[in-house]
Amino acid sequence: MAELSPARVLAELKNNGVTHVVWLPDSETNFLYVLMRDEPSIDLVPVSREGHAFSTAAGLAAGGQKPVILIQNTGMMESGDSLRGWGLGMNTPVVMMVGYRGWTRHGVITDTAAFYTERFLHAFNINYYLVESDEDADRISVAFAEAQREKRPVAVLVGDEYHGFNVSR
């Protein structure tokens, strides 16, 4: 299968007018980090706990900016109350790109982080799109349009995690 390239992800963020990336490093996102760091149109806001990403994004959106949240599924699950209160409760139109740790379409999922990810999103009634390769990357724009239209968080599950984390590889 083709890979999801960090350059393509960054292009999607730029095409959708992202102003701020609120993020906590994911397992395999360093290549994307280097690209984002060198991109003058994007301001990186590093958080130390994923729950802060939702409140930070809510403040940025209230002030008229367009944030994206970049976290891992483990941190998303730790952030449930922030997602509820600052994301859904504040009608924050934000895309959260979630590293899908443990995801594989080749065999049985053994990582509980992956096992509970979609169940968690269902519990919060968050719509999501799976992106595994550059061929899927236009789904990121679909997510941005939906978040803006519905004024609520929409998730993009990054199944490839920028080439490296899938147990099948």
Confirm or reject binding of residue 41 to other proteins (CB under 8 A). no
Q: Please select the residue that binds other proteins; options are 4, 36, 60, 97, rule is CB under 8 A.
A: 60
68 with 97: CB under 8 angstroms? yes
Confirm or reject binding of residue 75 to other proteins (CB under 8 A). no
Which pair of structure tokens corresponds to residue 5?
Answer: 């390239």
Taking the alpha carbons of 157, 167, 23, 115 in that order, is the dihedral positive or negative? positive
Confirm or reject binding of residue 150 to other proteins (CB under 8 A). no
Q: Please select the residue that binds other proteins; options are 25, 31, 52, 111, rule is CB under 8 A.
A: 52
Bridge partners, 67 (sequence order): 20
Between 30-37 and 6-15, two packed helices, what is the crossing angle to 10 degrees? 50
65 or 133: CB nearest other proteins? 65
20 with 42: CB under 8 angstroms? yes
3-state class (DSSP) for residue 67: strand
Report the nearest approach of other proteins to the CB of residue 87 (Å).
9
Question: What is the C-alpha to C-alpha distance for residues 34 and 61, in angstroms, rounded to an integer?
Answer: 25
65 or 127: CB nearest other proteins? 65
**Binding-residue pattern over the window 95 to 134 for other proteins, x denoting contact by CB under 8 A:** ----------------------------------------
Residue ranges binding other proteins (CB under 8 A): 20, 22, 43, 45-49, 51-65, 67, 81-82, 84-86, 89-91
